[in-house]
Amino acid sequence: GLVKKETRFTSKFPAKEIVSKIEEAAMPLGFNVKKNKYKMKLQGEKTGRKGQLSIATEIFEVAPSLFMVELRKAQGDTLEFHKFYKNISVGLEDIVWKSGEDAKKIVDGSVAVPS
């Protein structure tokens, strides 16, 4: 199957809270976090198969109090990125509303957002 270099989820939590949750979840996984408003860069401390894993994260407001969080692999190994996402998802469970394809459909407008 095709391994994607990015993934996204939606959340109904305030953007500030999403940022601090991602930070809290990424640090124990061995990632340094650089923040700039609603953009974050997660930089792996370990060197993996293709160098350090670096992940760019951005938060968009897609509807009133509905945010989309996009995590994109900036550098490193794609499979390591997926492992990272699986691990970080555990720490983000309480803020994730919809993830993956469901999140994309909502953002693309093919699914009505329940009010």
Percent of the chain with pLDDT over 90: 64
What count of other Cβ atoms lies within 10 Å of the Cβ of residue 4? Answer: 14
48-76 average pLDDT score: 92
**Which domain CATH number covers 12?**
3.30.310.80
State mean pLDDT over 89-102.
86
Q: Is the pLDDT of residue 36 over 70?
A: yes
For residue 115, name the pLDDT band (cuts at 50, 70, 90).
very low
CB 33, CB 99: distance < 8 Å: no
In-domain check, residue 105: no
The span from the first CA to the last CA of the chain, in angstroms, equals 35
pLDDT at residue 50 above 70?
yes
Please indicate, yes or no, if residue 103 is contained in any of the structural domains.
Answer: no
CA distance 26 to 39: 14
- Which residue segment(s) compose the domain that 10 sits in? 6-60+72-98
**How high is the mean pLDDT of the chain?**
87
Summarize the confidence of residues 74-99 as an average pLDDT.
91
What is the domain count for the chain?
A: 1
Does 35 map to a domain? Answer: yes
Report the percent of the chain where pLDDT is more than 70: 86
Residue 90 falls inside a structural domain: yes
